Amino acid sequence: MFFAYPVKDRLKGKVCVITGAASGIGRACAIRYAAEGARVVAADISVKGGEATVAAIKASGGEAIFQHTDVCEPAQLDALLTRAIDAYGYVNVWHNNAFKSVFKTIIDQTLEEFDETMRVSLRAYWYGAKIAVTHMLSHNGGVILNTASVQSYFGEPGFSAYQCAKGAILSLTRSLGVDHAPGVRAVALAPGFIHTPAHDGIPPETIERVKQSIPASRGAAPEEVAALAAFLASDEADYITATGVIIDGGYLAM
């Protein structure tokens, strides 16, 4: 069982935008950012899920708004940034988190499935970072967080397009951190096995095989990733940039 201990006011005064905020890691991060004092702009293609995230934040005394966003559409990402600025004046943290994929080998995957994975899970990260960095450089800097994966670092059978996207996200993060320091930091979160709805499409035998390979002998809760994300978004992590931070229960050490 994971016990959350938000650091009061660690993110006070910050405005955090997060995509894919309707469930899983995205919802947990949005709630944690607000619990640590940030004002949150939660974005997702799911209105019901996104509004539920905002409702959870407000029920705990936090401040948040929801913006319906299809990250495949650059104009909607532009609108997301505009909404955040109109509501709160600026953006300090932009967390690219939305993703979509099918879990197949390259033989079984269609070109259309690959293209859709890249649009949601990579192209949207690139464009979101582009507009956020442009804004941040003229507003006292900020932080780009990108949700990557342990599969940014190694190969796992049956995840062809997913691994293409996650590997590229880590490279994008390094590029952003190098190009725009010291004004903007860029960090990739690299989770291992996390209990989220995203696993619904993974064959049960694959999930069991992965879990048996984790030294911690379990998967993690989304709230554990959120605890790391809140630290990385904070000023306490000022010397961490152009890199990925792994949270995997020891999986990559095996």
CB burial class (10 A; 0-12, 13-18, 19+) of residue 66?
buried
CB atoms within 10 A of CB 35: 22
pLDDT recorded at residue 197? 81
Q: Are 233 and 16 in contact (CB under 8 A)?
A: yes
- Catalytic annotation present for 162: yes
Specify whether the CB–CB gap between 94 and 132 falls below 8 A. yes
Q: Please, which residues have CB within 8 angstroms of residue 197's CB and are 6 or more apart in sequence?
A: 23, 24
Task: Name the pTM for this structure.
Answer: 0.94
Q: 15-108+121-247 — its CATH code?
A: 3.40.50.720
Site of tokens 């035998």? 205
Q: For the chain, give the longest Cα–Cα distance.
A: 50
Distance of CA 129 to the CA centre of its chain: 12
State how far the Cα of 129 lies from the Cα of 144, in Å rounded to an integer.
7
Domain residue ranges of the chain, discontinuous segments joined by +? 15-108+121-247
Question: Which long-range CB contacts under 8 A does 124-127 form with residues at least 24 apart?
Answer: 124/19, 124/71, 124/72, 124/77, 124/96, 124/98, 125/96, 125/169, 125/172, 126/172, 127/74, 127/77
pLDDT of residue 102: 81
Residue-wise pLDDT tens for the chain (254 aa)?
566 788 999 999 999 999 999 999 999 999 999 999 999 999 999 999 999 999 999 999 999 999 999 999 999 999 999 999 999 999 999 999 999 878 888 999 999 999 999 999 999 999 999 999 999 999 999 999 999 999 899 887 888 899 999 999 999 999 999 999 999 999 999 999 888 887 776 778 877 877 888 999 888 999 999 999 999 999 999 999 999 999 999 998 87
3-state secondary structure of 37: coil
Instruction: Give the per-residue pLDDT at 201.
Output: 66
Rounded to whole angstroms, how far apart are CA atoms 172 and 177?
A: 9
| Distance (Å, whole) CA 249 – CA 95 | 23
pLDDT at position 2 is 65
> Considering 127, 162, 239, 251, which one is annotated as catalytic?
162
